C-alpha cells in the first residue's frame, strides 16, 4: 500500500515529534499541523520543530484545528493517511479549564473527521487514552471493557471522540483506528508529566507530590514503543466491518507492565544518584489507582508489542534531559 503523504496533527507535540522523525526517516512526506499553544513552554515545541524542519520532506503549518483555514490546508496536501495526535492534554488541568478540552478535543476531532470524509483517506488514526477506562476494576484493561465510568472531563472528551469516530466510520465507510495510550514517557516529553517534573524537582531539591500516599500504579510506556506501534499500524487499516457496521478498531498501546509509583521514583533516584524529598498527599480527583494495558490485539495486528524496559527508558530520558538543560539556550526554561 502506497502511503507516502501523511498528515500529523500535534506535530510539535511530544508523540507527534517522535512520530514525524520516524516516518521522515522512512521516506514519507509529512505535513505537520500544530497551534503551538502555551499549555507548556513553547520553547520545547520550537526546539522539536527546528529538528523536524531539517528534513526536506517535512512541511509545517501553524493552525488551530477549529480554524476556518484548516480544510483548505488539508485538501491542498491531499493526505493518504491522517494521524490525529493534537489535543488539550492533562487530566488535572481539565478540572481548571474544561472548555479548552471540549473545544480542542471534541470540536477539533469533529472538524478533522468532516474534512476526511471528503477525501480518499486510506487510514485515519487518532489518539485516545487509557483514561477512558475510568473506574473500571477489570485488570488488565481490555478494549472490550466498560468505558462508561469516566473519572475526568479529559476522559469524557476522549471517549466522545471514540464514539464520534465509530459513527463516522458507519456513515461514510472511513477506515479508523483509535489508540488508547498508557502513560507515555521519554526524551522531548511534556514538562507537566510526572516523570519530567519529578526529575526537575529532585535535581533542585524540591519536594515531589505523591497522591494517594504514593500508592498508585501506572503502565509507563516509552515513546519509541508508541511510534513503532503507530508506524506498523499505518498500512493496516481495519478492512472488515465490526458488529456495528463500521471499519473502526480501538487498540491499547501500553507496556503491559504496571509499575508502583514508589518503584518508579526509586529508579529515577538511582539514575540521578539523588534522593527525592517526598510529600505524601491524598488521592487527587480525576486520578485512578492503577492502569494496566492488555496489548494482545495490538500484537496480533502488528506483530509487535512494547518492549522498552523502565530502566532503559528512563535512562534515555535522563540523558536527553541533562543534555538539553545544560545548554545555555534552554536555561530560561528552567527558571
Residues 6+ apart with CB under 8 A from 231: 19, 22, 23, 26
- Round to whole Å and give the CA distance between 270 and 261: 14
Report strand pairing: 259-260 vs 217-218: antiparallel
Residue 210 · residue 278 · CB < 8 Å: yes
Residue 191 · residue 41 · CB < 8 Å: yes
Residue 76's CB: how many other CB atoms inside 10 A?
9
Residue 58 · residue 16 · CB < 8 Å: no
Q: What is the DSSP letter of 293?
A: B
Residue 119 · residue 16 · CB < 8 Å: no
Q: Which of 143, 182, 178, 140 is nearest to 160 (CA)?
A: 178
- Round to whole Å and give the CA distance between 126 and 331: 34
3-state class percentages of the chain: helix first, strand second, coil last, to nearest 5: 45, 15, 40
Q: Which of 86, 94, 80, 146 is nearest to 110 (CA)?
A: 86
Residue 98 · residue 90 · CB < 8 Å: no
What's the CA angle centered on 143, arms 10 and 33, to 5 degrees? 10
Catalytic status, residue 154: yes
Q: Is the dihedral of CA 187, 178, 54, 22 positive or negative?
A: positive
Catalytic residue of the set 40, 154, 168, 195: 154
Please tell me the total number of residues recorded for the chain in this structure.
335
Q: Which of 234, 240, 233, 225 is nearest to 297 (CA)?
A: 233
**Residues taking part in catalysis:** 154
Amino acid at each position: 500500500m502506497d502511503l507516502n503523504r501523511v498528515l500529523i496533527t500535534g506535530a510539535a507535540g511530544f508523540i507527534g515529534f517522535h512520530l514525524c522523525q520516524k516516518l521522515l526517516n522512512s521516506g514519507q512526506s509529512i505535513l505537520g499541523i500544530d497551534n503551538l499553544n502555551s499549555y507548556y513552554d513553547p520553547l520545547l515545541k520550537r526546539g522539536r520543530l527546528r529538528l523536524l524542519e531539517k528534513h526536506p520532506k517535512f512541511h509545517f503549518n501553524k493552525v488551530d484545528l477549529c480554524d476556518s483555514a484548516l480544510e483548505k490546508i488539508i485538501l491542498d496536501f491531499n493526505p493518504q493517511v491522517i494521524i490525529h495526535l493534537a489535543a488539550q492534554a492533562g487530566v488535572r488541568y481539565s478540572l481548571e479549564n474544561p472548555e479548552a478540552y471540549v473545544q480542542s478535543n471534541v470540536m477539533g476531532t469533529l472538524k478533522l473527521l468532516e474534512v476526511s470524509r471528503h477525501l480518499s483517506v486510506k487510514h485515519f488514526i487518532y489518539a485516545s487514552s487509557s483514561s477512558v477506562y475510568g473506574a473500571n476494576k477489570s485488570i488488565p484493561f481490555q478494549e472490550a471493557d466498560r468505558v462508561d465510568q469516566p473519572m475526568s472531563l479529559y476522559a469524557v472528551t476522549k471517549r466522545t471522540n471514540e464514539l464520534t469516530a465509530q459513527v463516522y466510520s458507519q456513515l461514510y465507510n472511513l477506515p479508523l483506528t483509535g489508540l488508547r495510550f498508557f502513560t507515555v514517557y521519554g526524551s522531548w516529553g511534556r514538562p507537566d508529566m510526572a516523570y519530567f517534573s519529578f526529575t526537575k524537582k529532585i535535581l533542585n531539591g524540591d519536594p515531589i507530590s505523591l497522591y494517594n500516599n504514593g500508592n498508585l500504579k501506572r503502565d509507563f510506556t516509552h515513546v519509541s514503543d508508541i511510534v513503532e506501534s503507530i508506524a506498523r499500524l499505518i498500512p493496516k487499516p481495519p478492512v472488515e466491518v465490526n458488529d456495528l457496521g463500521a471499519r473502526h478498531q480501538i487498540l491499547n498501546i501500553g507496556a503491559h507492565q504496571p509499575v508502583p509509583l514508589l518503584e518508579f521514583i526509586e529508579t529515577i533516584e538511582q539514575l540521578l544518584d539523588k534522593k527525592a524529598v517526598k510529600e505524601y498527599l491524598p488521592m487527587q480527583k480525576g486520578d485512578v489507582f492503577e492502569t494496566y494495558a492488555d496489548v494482545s490485539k495490538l500484537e496480533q495486528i502488528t506483530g509487535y508489542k512494547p518492549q522498552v524496559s523502565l530502566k532503559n527508558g528512563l535512562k534515555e530520558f535522563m540523558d536527553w534531559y541533562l543534555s538539553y538543560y545544560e545548554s545555555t539556550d534552554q536555561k530560561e526554561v528552567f527558571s
